[in-house]
Amino acid sequence: MANLTLLSDEITNWIKDYAKKEGFSTLVIGVSGGVDSAVTSTLCANTGLRTMALNMPIYQDEGQYELSRKHIEWLESKWENAEGHQVDLTRTFDNFCKEDLKEQEISDLALANTRARLRMTALYAIAGSNNGIVVGTGNKIEDFGIGFFTKYGDGGVDISPIADLYKSEVYDLAKSLGVIMEIRESPPTDGLWVDGRTDEDQIGASYEELEWAMKEVDSSSGGLLSKRQKEVLEVYEKLNRQNAHKMKEIPMFLFDRGP
């Protein structure tokens, strides 16, 4: 792993340089209570730019809500430019699902993704009102390995500071930055389900296993694999295929106007 202090400084400067070059003064980020958003929001606060960290509960698991709240309080205690806000979208979600979609048979997965898309809409409303950009929190496995994000939800962002970092590298950075232990030790979850299911519950493999699979596919080593390694590769490759549409440019018909 590269020097963590150097890496932190490089990402922080990259965020700051981008925002200033494009004429933005505010960084807006949703804080879920997980390690990815904790690391990203900390890097944002490090820029010295106004950093708006939003806790956006929608029937949120109490533990996840509390971790988000604690992290935001920690940010505010360490950086004067960091400010926390709570935007409770539960009533908005209820109205949308029970009124606007009441005659439709909406699946549980679609409802989970609706949460992410409502949060994205709120983030952009706030960013657009504060000369800001929305900062993404996806890591390399999620964004470019298995597509574990909601299209036009948490995948709808302006910049992605940690999208080239494996989950293990995010954890290393979290420790180096002093992110609170409770977040670093909490099982990763997307926070989109009432039952509080973890990412591993949904995916069927841990991030450590998926990281191995991504590197294995990229290297094409062809070595002998254990039964579990074969299972993990199958999980990785299946999700990579299923979610490829999220990780590629939107297909566009090209009109041939001739010579």
CB atoms within 10 A of CB 105: 6
Please give the residue that has the higher pLDDT: either 97 or 130: 130
Separation of alpha carbons 191 and 189, rounded Å: 5
pLDDT for the residue numbered 207: 96
Identity of the amino acid at 37: S
Band the pLDDT of 230: cuts 50, 70, 90.
very high
**Cα angle at 52 between 160 and 122, to 5 degrees?**
80
Structural domain 4-196, CATH architecture? 3-Layer(aba) Sandwich (3.40)
In this structure, are residues 170 and 143 in contact, taking their beta carbons and an 8 Å threshold? no
Is pLDDT above 90 for 228? yes
Note the pLDDT tens digit of each residue in 244-254: 999 999 999 99
Identity of the amino acid at 19: A
Please give the residue that has the higher pLDDT: either 99 or 206: 206
Q: Which two tokens stand for residue 90?
A: 């539960």
- Tell me how many helices (H) and strands (E) the chain has: 12, 4
Q: Which two tokens stand for residue 35?
A: 């390690």
Separation of alpha carbons 189 and 202, rounded Å: 9
Note the pLDDT tens digit of each residue in 20-77: 999 999 999 999 999 999 999 999 999 999 999 999 999 988 989 999 999 999 999 9
Band the pLDDT of 104: cuts 50, 70, 90.
confident
Note the pLDDT tens digit of each residue in 152-199: 999 999 999 999 999 999 999 999 999 999 999 999 988 888 787 899
pLDDT for the residue numbered 92: 94
Is pLDDT above 80 for 102? no
pLDDT for the residue numbered 256: 94
What are the two backbone dihedrals, phi and then psi, of residue 53, each rounded to the nearest 5 degrees?
Answer: -100, 120
In this structure, are residues 143 and 137 in contact, taking their beta carbons and an 8 Å threshold? no
Domain boundary assignment for the chain: 4-196
- Average pLDDT estimate for 130-138: 98
- Average pLDDT estimate for 233-256: 94
Q: What percent of the chain has pLDDT over 70?
A: 97
Separation of alpha carbons 220 and 222, rounded Å: 6
Is pLDDT above 60 for 235? yes
pLDDT for the residue numbered 139: 97
Per-residue three-class SS string for 154-199 = CCCCCECCCCCCCHHHHHHHHHHHCCCHHHHHCCCCCCCCCCCCCH
Band the pLDDT of 219: cuts 50, 70, 90.
confident
> Which one, of 97, 116, 106, 110, lies nearest residue 190 by Cα?
116
Half-sphere exposure (CA, 13 Å, Cβ side) for 253?
2
Identity of the amino acid at 182: E
The dihedral of CA 212, 215, 217, 220: what is its sign?
negative
DSSP code per residue over 128-147: HTTTEEEBP---HIIIIIS-
Is pLDDT above 60 for 1? no
pLDDT for the residue numbered 140: 97
pLDDT for the residue numbered 193: 86
Separation of alpha carbons 183 and 102, rounded Å: 37
